[in-house]
A and B are shown apart, each in its own frame.
Chain A
Amino acid sequence: MPDLNINFAGIKAPNPFWLASAPPTNSGYQIMKAFDAGWGGAVWKTLGVPVINVSSRYGSINYRDTRMAGFNNIELITDRPLADNLKEIEEVKKYFPDHAVIASLMVETKAEWHQIIKDVENAGVDGIELNFGCPHGMCERGMGSAVGQEPAVLQTIVEWVMEVAKVPVITKLTPNISHIVDPGLAATRGGSNAISLVNTFKSIVGIDLDSFAPYPIVDGKGTNGGYCGPAIKPIALDMVKELAQHPEIQHVPISGIGGIETWRDAVEFILLGAGSVQVCTAAMHYGFGIVREMKAGLEQFMTDKGFETIYDFKGKALPNVTEWKNLNLMHKVVAKIDPAKCVGCDLCYIACDDGAHQAIRISKLNGNRIPEIIDENCVGCNLCALVCPVEECITMEKRDDGTKFKSWEELTIENNVPTSFDDELAGGKHHFVPTVQDALKFRK
């Protein structure tokens, strides 16, 4: 049985699955229920300056029959009294001394920061998370993402915090910035013990076509919200990688957040260097019980691969995430269709013909709808395999023998890169392209 225990910047937890600071961690009731369901830690719903929330708070993207493929909210930090939260933190820690309880905080002045840190430490938290993330509401008051977007301000506040904090401090970053390394560096230089990312993305999930207002609609008006859920995972993964690979930041533990719903998502974040993962939308969609799929899947993965702890594979994908210029230009894959599996939807054909490289043919002879790959035209872009609705029907076959390696970087050093527009060395020069007139034969 693999050991899921983690020690994240000094914060210990029975497993890496933590609830992100959000509605699921609004109360001691919820957090205790979550721990019983199997979560290893929870970041308390952000405590801080007093707020008032609106009614009608969430909107979502339903992708076909999939609900909440993307989720957005215009909620602020907690609106519950600080004293109640502190009392509940204390109680939760009494019942669950071995689970990680982390207080997310957002206040304004240095004095306020110092005071609230003392308060939550007295209540018994295992760590503190600084919320520099909310891209709505709080930023208009100079907090949340307004801080996260100003690395210098962020660093100053982290320094204030580090002056007094006795428990590990995690700085939570907003992704609403073009270069995530900047706030990452500021947090590191400010002395933060760890970094978590991402908070939500500034977003408008849709417009009501009758009232002409953005969702979620509050009395005929709306505002940008924060976007999260499965849709944001790819961008979150990239940002985690950016920090995990940065020479000055890579020693800082990272808690990965963004669109995590299954064990696979969690493993991906860990492979890119995350030492714990946080989940909000999936818990809001399915309840705390969703963690049983994540935990069982992680355990099975570790058993299958022979990993005993998550530190056996944490960051294992990082060496394989490189810059484009280092990729092997000699690598060659070609699509292959399994005619026994093909159902003849011809989506691959039209995707390739209209959207890629005209490397698929359909004979239509005797009503045959099974397409054929034209090997010499296929550039190995993967598009057909991605659109094919049948599992493992189109596979990408490796055609190079694996003995040759040549990257753009090497070609540059050898002075062998194409330089003029019509250079013989350019990649697409000898690719097949139909004639312009060939397009006319499709006219009806």
Chain B
Amino acid sequence: MAEFIRPKTEEEFEINFQQKKPLMNPTEAYFESSRCLFCYDAPCIQACPTGIDIPLFIKQITTKNLTGSAKTIYDSNWLGNACGAICPTGILCEGACVYNHQDVPPIQIGRLQNFATSYAIHENKNLFKIGPSNGRKVAIIGSGPAGIACACELRIMGYEVDIYEAKEKPSGLTLYGIAAYKITNEEVEREMDYLKNKLGLNFICNHPILEKFQLDELETSYDAIFLGIGIGPTAILNLPGEDKNNVIGAVEFIEELRKKHHEIKVPNHVVVIGGGNTAMDAASQSARLGAENITLAYRRSKSEMGAYGFEYKLAISSGVTSIFEAQPISIDGKDQAESVTFKRTKYNNGKLETIEGSEFVVMADLVIKATGQAKNSSILNLVEGMHTDNKNRIIVNEVSFQTTNPMYFAGGDAVNGGAEVVNAAYHGKMAAKGIEVWLNSFK
């Protein structure tokens, strides 16, 4: 049963993809901020990967110092506005808020953060000072949250920065990956423009760095290089029938959705394979595009899903059906997929096995694979002496974010294998400081 009517216009799309954390109005922000206790050594700060001084920025909202509030936020997190809307706050800051212990709703930290930063962006406030030029240049590859954060931090330290981006627009997955009901494209672009204008960021878009000679050039023209390349496209499953026309990777599906909105047509029967947050996002968004039957299929049990509980609940409340302990065996049909055949699974001595004779078939005229992303291994292999771990994650020093090739620093999904925007923002900032320390060591 479809919960959502197929959106045919941008307005209808916006209704279906109503923002989960809409901008607060001033009354809401005033009352909510007034509730904050200003805890000492606050647990919410400790739970924020970027360590924003949360009680301070909230108190600054109460005392009507919105500019100062936004500054407090950006001092720690260069993606302060986006993070306010898209961070899984329930498991981060808000999950740590002391009010939870009294069964009182925690402070809505994310929305307050979004409120204060939206004000600063909207009013075009000057929060940052570009550092006096120190004559050093850094190349940044990838303009996702990690790259942006690194670039911004370097700018206030006086570096010249060029950001090479493969795609047409900067922002990385914030623009192309996050579910459309968490943040609008306009919001992402507004923060990006704001940072770009205030800090003089130089984006070189449509410019993938894929060849050795390109890297050689960068190495000669820059003092250091930061890799914020994220992870690659959806991985191949090696499933019979995977090559059919209407089988798509979740990341690619969401990217298309973020670009085309209501113009993307999903068929009625959608099968989403996977149990992580990306799978939940793909399912929840398929529902909002008006698909009638959406089946979320995960090969292990519900309790083993990687997805956050709230993301699963959101999918279910959007009308998605879930099947657990079911492994896809083949995708069937002619050129087009028509169904997916599954086998039941069970554990045998701690190993997951399929159960003979347990096959069943689910109708599908769109199959979305949310079974993890492949690695951008090509470029990684081109950098001399830069090691990756067995999961193809770039190995870095956890303070300086320097790779095993000293000229290269890295952060974000490329380093942690895929986490949140806020982690990438933290990595980028730390890497900028790492670059400074490293270059200063030659003085």
Contact = CB atoms under 8 A, between A and B. Distances in A.
A293 B40 contact: no
Contacts of A407: none
Given A262-B59, A264-B63, A287-B40, A297 B68 contact: yes
A292 B56 contact: yes
Contacts of B71: 296, 300
Interface string A251-288: 00000000000111000000000000000000000110
Given A287-B40, A296-B65, A300-B65, A391 B60 contact: no
Given A296-B56, A296-B72, A297-B68, A262 B63 contact: yes
A304 B64 CA distance: 13
B285 to A, nearest CB: 32
A296 B27 contact: no
B60 A293 contact: yes
A292 B40 CA distance: 13
B60 A297 contact: yes
B124 to A, nearest CB: 14
B40 A391 contact: no
Contacts of B27: 341, 389-391, 393
A300 B38 CA distance: 20
B26 interface: yes
B67 A391 contact: no
A264 B65 CA distance: 9
A295 to B, nearest CB: 10
A263 B38 contact: no
Contacts of B56: 292-293, 296
Contacts of A23: none
A230 interface: no
A236 to B, nearest CB: 18
A49 interface: no
Contacts of B222: none
B119 interface: no
A68 to B, nearest CB: 12
Contacts of A351: none
Contacts of A390: 27
B30 interface: yes
Given A293-B60, A296-B56, A391-B27, A263 B65 contact: yes
Contacts of A293: 56, 59-60, 63, 65
A289 B40 CA distance: 8
Nearest to B58: A293
A264 B64 contact: yes
**How many of chain A's residues touch chain B, expressed as a range?**
20 to 34
Interface string B50-61: 000100100110
> Most A CB atoms within 10 A — which of B27, B30, B65, B72?
B65
Contacts of B64: 264
B65 A297 contact: yes
Contact of B63 (A65, A297, A392): A297
B332 to A, nearest CB: 56
B227 to A, nearest CB: 35
B38 A296 contact: no
Nearest to A67: B37
Contact residues of B: prevailing secondary structure: helix
A263 B65 CA distance: 9
Interface residues of B, number: 19
Contacts of A392: 26
Contact of A300 (B30, B40, B62, B68): B68
> Most B CB atoms within 10 A — which of A65, A296, A304?
A296
A297 B71 CA distance: 11
B245 to A, nearest CB: 50
Interface string B68-102: 10011000000000000000000000000000000
B40 A296 contact: no
Contacts of A290: 38
> Most B CB atoms within 10 A — which of A65, A293, A300?
A293
A262 B62 CA distance: 10
B103 to A, nearest CB: 15
Interface in A294-328: 296-297, 299-301, 304
Interface string B22-55: 0001110010000100101000000000000100
A74 B62 CA distance: 31
A263 B62 CA distance: 11
Contacts of A304: 67
Nearest to B60: A293
Contacts of B63: 262-264, 293, 297
A41 B371 CA distance: 60
A389 B27 CA distance: 8
> Most A CB atoms within 10 A — which of B30, B35, B40, B60?
B60
Interface in B4-27: 25-27
A293 B33 CA distance: 14
Contacts of B72: 296
B26 A296 contact: no
A299 B60 CA distance: 13
B157 to A, nearest CB: 17
A263 B68 CA distance: 11
Contacts of B53: 292
A341 B56 CA distance: 28
Interface string A374-392: 0000000000000001111
A262 B63 CA distance: 7
Contact of B26 (A289, A300, A391): A391
A69 to B, nearest CB: 12
B56 to A, nearest CB: 6
Nearest to B126: A303
Contacts of A299: 68
B257 to A, nearest CB: 33
Interface string B222-241: 00000000000000000000
Nearest to B29: A391
Contacts of A297: 60, 63, 65, 68
A286 B56 CA distance: 12
Contacts of A301: 65
Contacts of B60: 293, 296-297
A304 B71 CA distance: 14
A296 B58 CA distance: 13
> Most B CB atoms within 10 A — which of A286, A299, A301?
A286
B415 to A, nearest CB: 32
A217 B106 CA distance: 34
Contacts of A263: 63, 65
Contacts of B68: 296-297, 299-300
Contacts of B59: 262, 293
A410 to B, nearest CB: 37
Nearest to A264: B63
Nearest to B67: A300
Nearest to A392: B26
A293 B38 CA distance: 11
A383 B403 CA distance: 64
Contacts of B62: 262
> Most A CB atoms within 10 A — which of B40, B59, B64?
B59
18 contacts: A65-B35, A262-B62, A286-B38, A286-B40, A289-B38, A290-B38, A292-B53, A293-B56, A293-B60, A296-B68, A297-B65, A297-B68, A300-B71, A304-B67, A391-B27, A391-B30, A392-B26, A393-B27
Given A290-B38, A293-B60, 10 more contacts: A65-B35, A262-B59, A287-B40, A292-B56, A293-B59, A296-B60, A296-B68, A296-B71, A389-B27, A391-B25
Interface of B: 25-27, 30, 35, 38, 40, 53, 56, 59-60, 62-65, 67-68, 71-72
**Which 8 residue pairs are nearest across A and B when measured between Cβ atoms?**
A391-B26, A391-B27, A262-B63, A300-B68, A297-B65, A296-B68, A293-B59, A390-B27
